[in-house]
Structure 1
Amino acid sequence: MIFTWSIPLLILACLSILLWFWAIIDINRSNFKDPKHKGLFFLLVLITPVIGSIIYFQMKKGYVSTDKRRFSPQFNNH
């Protein structure tokens, strides 16, 4: 009876850690409109991992720029 909750708790813990890492990676890869927001979201996710990640993914659309990066190399052939 002691171990009946072990597996669900282990799965929940693994999913929480996965969500946390996904949020951190997404914050680093996203192009924010204001660089300060990137730092604030990063702190929010570090201080409150699960709740902060959920808040970040819910609010992300208003703070992240949707402009695609363009590859425009400038070669100087001198």
Structure 2
Amino acid sequence: MYDTKHVQKRAQQRGITKDMINFTLDHGVIQGDRWFLNRKLLNETIHELEAQLKVAKRLRDKGGVVVVADGEALLTTYDFDSRKMAY
């Protein structure tokens, strides 16, 4: 996002960081000519991100590598221990 000196000044006055702006652009919705993110949308986004985090942690705990071939329904998992460099 290109930000002008005016945007930088107003964001600083309101305590809005660049990360907050980028998060809104990634997860918000367009309402008219503005990006919109309210408490309800934030709660939904947090719930989705927590679900993704839960899956990522389960994958990490399994030590597995998931392979999907050419976008088909083929799914193969390997129990890989990187410390031993063995399957």
TM over 0.5: no
Larger RCO: 1 or 2 (CA < 8 Å, sep 6+): 1
Q: Decide which structure has greater strand share.
A: 2
More helix by proportion, 1 or 2?
1
Scaled by the length of structure 1, the TM-score of the pair is: 0.36
Q: Output the TM-score relative to the length of structure 2.
A: 0.33
Q: Quick check: which has more Rg, 1 or 2? A: 2
